Chain A
Amino acid sequence: MKSLFLLVASCWLLVTVLFGCGPSYPKEKFKESIVRLCKDEYKLDIKVETVGKTIAIYLPLPDLIDFTFAITKQASEKINDVILSVSRVALSTDAKFDFYCIIAHDIRIPEIQIVIIKSVDDVKRFLLNDISRGEYSKRMLIDIRLNPQSQKERAIKEVFEKMAIDKKWQERVMNDFFRAEPAVLGDIGYWNGRFYIKNISLAEFLAEQIVNRIRIEFREDKELLDAFLVKSTKGFYISKDSRHYFRFEVEAEPKSFNQLEASEATNRIFQTVLKVVYQVIHGYKFEDFDYIEIVNQTNGRTSKFLRDNLKNFKPKRTKIEDIMEFDTY
């Protein structure tokens, strides 16, 4: 009885371990797998392209936005289906991918696009309950905008028209000089049958994510919403002279302004930015930077915070003066 049990148990373990060895979607058939999955399970026609460790998926939709320029329910469901398909394949393949971005177009207005960028690692952590649903959604970059390439090409075409350049030459010049890989995440898109994508790095993904989170913070915190009017937020990851740092530019005007409150207001902005930066950097255990630079565009004040000082940062208790490296105007 005991030996029979042992035999059954060991056979079962052996089989399960053997089954657990191979990937469901081998890297050789990676793109086809995503395309087939979307086609077979959701009847969606998509295009897939990869650059480095980034996957790009183009999803043309007939009804992406309605007359209020909001995403329609059907489009939202289809985008979610594609996200699910890509996640499944990205997680069950032996190909190494860090990011994927989904570019959805409305075929009626191809200039408008939605770009969703996700980290594969975030999906994995979410599925393993390592991060909450709220945190997971904050880690996703969603952007609805006019296609940058279409804007660029329209402007250049106007120039070509003015210069009366031959159509054949127009196309050649366009291909040679104006259809290059995008430099920043904001330029990612799909235009005229061609992907404009780049190999996304974790640093630039984090910079963009921090910017998004700062916007959310200023929008959702009642006190901040009452105190400031945020005009713009930008974030960059800069590598210069063997130095690596994040630079965040915030243009937030105090709603009730007087001279006494000016420095306090800036401190408040910096404190908020720093809190978000700390959360994100800490959440990803990212250490490939030397310092953080925060610029208040309203008064030009720039402050610098070293990585080591940031380690001891406590969002509610630490005063920024204590960890600030220097302050310039």
Chain B
Amino acid sequence: MLPRKFKMYFKMYWVRIVIIFVIIGVCILAVWGLASLESFYRNITLATMPINLIMVALNATIFVFMYITFMQGGLAKVSKSTIKGQNVNVKWSDVIGMENVKEEAREVVQLIRDRARVKKIGGKILRGILMIGPPGCGKTYLAKAIATETGLPFLSMSGSEFVEIFVGVGASRVRRLFKKARELAYGYGGCIVFIDELDAIARKRVFSVFGGTEETNSTQNQLLAEMDGLQEAIGRSGEPLTEQNIIVIGATNAPEENLDKALLRPGRFDRKLYIDLPTLEDREKLFEYYLAKVQRDPSIDIGRLARKAVYKTPADIENIVKEAALIATRDKGDVIKHKDISEAMERVELGLKHKLHMSPLEKEKTACHEAGHLIVLYILHPTEDVFKASIIPRRGTLGVVHHQPREEVFTFDRQRLLADIKVGIAGYVAEKLKFGTTSSGVAMDFKQAMTIAHNMVWKYGMNDAGLLGDYTIIPESQLSDKVKETLNEETNKIFVKSLKEVEDLLNKEKPLLDRFVKELLEKEELDYDDIDAIFKEYGKFPMKSA
């Protein structure tokens, strides 16, 4: 292994080695030259040496500055950093949650380690792993953990680093990256190349006569060629060289179907790891992990926080804890309390509060609007819990009812869709009921509700007219007027029926509506506990999912 490492170092750093030898040679020659001079001339040379060195340094600085300014260090320069696997130092235990993915990753690591065994039994060797999932879910972290566990050098680059305006630059960078990876693999027995944001170079290639996408295509072609080249490197004399143990790990948050098929075919990215948002259990672990790093109130209910943080990524949770620490510091607290985290979540979710002067009537209308949403949401929605109602303006809205799903839901049934419509139009109904008139504040609510109703009828077949199928994929010109009319009537029917139900409910719960309006006008914000207490006071309980 040692001679191989020497050879590897020589291959990798031969330019540096030659430069060092030349410098040493020049130094020896200089000393020799000085020794052959008479003492007077030698003294002159030595005396002028410092100023000469300063001048050389100055010239070199100017040259380097000009070079960097005008040439940017060469267009094909790759700013890749090599890290030995052991130095990455991210262990499996550091990757919180995503147990299924970790299990698959462990298998991958085992395959990388047992490469020889896989080859012996004639199995296909793993060359690429593609991690797909939303941003902030720990794809990079998992790649680092794979590097640590395999102990192989880790070359990391972002897909965007390959993208340049000049055709061929990206391809040249890909070549340089893989050249370095091959050198490292030769010395260390393997190398992991991690390309983050792979979609920047792995989107479906477009073959345009205008050549506008030429650069992306050529970069991707080079990546495909390099990944194929990993299978069998050909020597100068044409004989196949030993297979290079290079594993390419790509990470993307783009949907799989947006990536070029050539990259996804077996032999390139053989394994696909789907990294999803953390589950309730994962979120609990994440809160435990991040809160352990800060001073926190031991009474914080982590389970409750995890329930509240549905659809939050690990990065979101880290951000929430960081934000909570800032809030606690601002409030001169010694430890992070539940309310700090709660406020941090709101800040992340809803945005910062801002002062907006509203007339008392407008404020009352807003309170009424939000109270309508609040009551319908609490009583009629099967999957969502309300966490906050507020009439403090945030992110361009005058008020908000913050709600979260009780648990992860991946499909939407009729009951939930209808509930969403009812919650959406509840603001309108409440305004009409209390003031006899409505405001423009309902526009966004109507848009959302109408979209849901339209999709229910046009796309999901949830209509009573028997028109099943997705009518949105048929061009409108090919749809008969009758079909369109029927579908629109069905949409309206859902909308009108929902409106009627909401009107009935709010009429029935008028005292509750008035109470919430009053409470909101007084306190401006109501938290889950306040809201729940008022509902319980009126003998109301949230609807449970069917």
Contact = CB atoms under 8 A, between A and B. Distances in A.
Interface of A: 1, 4, 8, 11-12, 15-17, 19-20, 22-25, 88, 91-93, 124, 127-128
Nearest to A4: B20
Contacts of B42: 19-20, 24
Contacts of A128: 44
Interface string B31-50: 10011001111111010010
- Interface hub of B24, B27, B39, B43 (most chain A Cβ within 10 A): B39
B40 A91 contact: yes
A8 B40 contact: no
25 contacts: A1-B16, A8-B23, A8-B27, A11-B27, A12-B27, A12-B31, A15-B31, A16-B34, A19-B34, A19-B42, A20-B39, A20-B43, A23-B39, A24-B38, A24-B42, A25-B38, A25-B39, A88-B38, A88-B40, A91-B38, A92-B38, A92-B40, A92-B41, A93-B39, A127-B40
Contacts, number: 46
- Interface hub of A8, A88, A92, A127 (most chain B Cβ within 10 A): A92
A24 B38 CA distance: 6
A131 to B, nearest CB: 15
A12 B26 CA distance: 10
Contacts of A19: 31, 34-35, 42
Interface string B8-30: 00000000100010011001001
Contacts of A1: 16
Contact of A92 (B23, B34, B39): B39
Given A19-B42, A23-B39, A25-B38, 20 more contacts: A4-B20, A8-B23, A8-B24, A8-B27, A11-B27, A12-B30, A15-B31, A16-B30, A16-B31, A16-B46, A16-B49, A20-B34, A20-B39, A22-B39, A25-B39, A91-B40, A92-B40, A93-B39, A127-B40, A128-B44
A4 B27 CA distance: 14
Contacts of A88: 38, 40
Nearest to A17: B46
A30 to B, nearest CB: 13
Contacts of A93: 39
A23 to B, nearest CB: 5
Given A8-B23, A17-B46, A127-B44, A24 B39 contact: yes
Contacts of A22: 39
Nearest to B31: A15
A83 to B, nearest CB: 15
Contacts of A127: 40, 44
Nearest to B13: A1
A240 B230 CA distance: 100
Contacts of B49: 16
A4 B46 CA distance: 23
A25 B40 CA distance: 10
Contacts of B38: 24-25, 88, 91-92
A223 B120 CA distance: 107
Contacts of B31: 12, 15-16, 19
A130 to B, nearest CB: 12
Nearest to B37: A24
B82 to A, nearest CB: 14
Nearest to B49: A16
Contacts of B39: 20, 22-25, 92-93
Contacts of A16: 30-31, 34, 46, 49
Contacts of A17: 46
A15 B33 CA distance: 12
Contacts of B27: 8, 11-12
B57 to A, nearest CB: 13
A19 B42 CA distance: 8
